[in-house]
Amino acid sequence: MAEFAFSEGTRVVIRHALHEASHSATDSLGYVSARNATHVVVATARGLETIALADIIAAKEIPPPPAPRPR
């Protein structure tokens, strides 16, 4: 991916390459926490994930999660 155009605080989903033999790519869903010229940090439900920009296959902004339903 040539340019990562999302600012901090934006909710995104990022498909990125894995360097393991069993999988080729995975998705990370969360909020952009930090970014620089080579990496982006996404705050996911599992914690912070640092992703190299060179490993990003696709990325897009997504809307906020839906409100909880009343029970």
pLDDT in tens, 13-42: 999 998 876 678 999 999 999 999 999 999
**Domains of the chain in sequence order:** 11-61 (2.30.30)
Per-residue confidence at 2, pLDDT binned at 50, 70, 90? Answer: low
31 burial class (0-12, 13-18, 19+ CB within 10 angstroms)?
middle
| Higher-scoring residue by pLDDT: 8, 4 | 8
Which candidate, 23, 29, 21, places its Cα nearest to that of 58? Answer: 29
Per-residue confidence at 1, pLDDT binned at 50, 70, 90? Answer: low
pLDDT of residue 19: 81
Q: Is 2 left (phi over 0), alpha (psi -120 to 50) or beta?
A: alpha
